[in-house]
Amino acid sequence: MCADIHRLGRLLAQHGHHPGAHPSTGLQFAVIDATLAAPRLMDVAEAVGLDIVCIGGILNDAEELVETSGTPVGRVAVLWPCLGHPGEAPVERPRIALESVPHTDRYRAQTPGEMEADLTRTGAGTQSGGWLALLSCYFASGESVEEREAPLRRTLDRQGPTRWRQSAAPRSLGPEEHREGIEVATRPGWSEWPPGHGRRIPLPVSGARYTAA
Q: Where are the domains of the chain?
A: 2-168, 171-213
Name the class of domain 2-168.
alpha beta
Burial per residue of 148-158, b for 16 or more beta-carbon CB atoms within 10 angstroms, e otherwise: beeebeebbee
Distance CA 161, CA 74 (A): 6
Distance CA 70, CA 43 (A): 29
Question: Does pLDDT of 25 surpass 80?
Answer: yes
Q: Mean pLDDT of all residues in the chain? A: 77
Distance CA 89, CA 18 (A): 51
Question: Does pLDDT of 5 surpass 60?
Answer: yes
Where is 212: in which H helix or E strand? none
Distance CA 93, CA 91 (A): 6
Residue 120 · residue 100 · CB < 8 Å: no
Which one has a higher pLDDT value, 204 or 44? 44
Tens of pLDDT, residue by residue over 64-98, are: 888 898 988 888 888 888 899 988 887 788 888 99
Helical H segments across 21-174, by residue range: 23-47, 62-69, 112-123, 131-139, 144-159, 161-168
Question: Does pLDDT of 114 surpass 90?
Answer: yes
pLDDT of residue 108: 92
Q: Are strands 191-193 and 80-84 parallel, antiparallel or unpaired?
A: unpaired
pTM of the model: 0.65
Tens of pLDDT, residue by residue over 119-133, are: 888 877 777 667 888
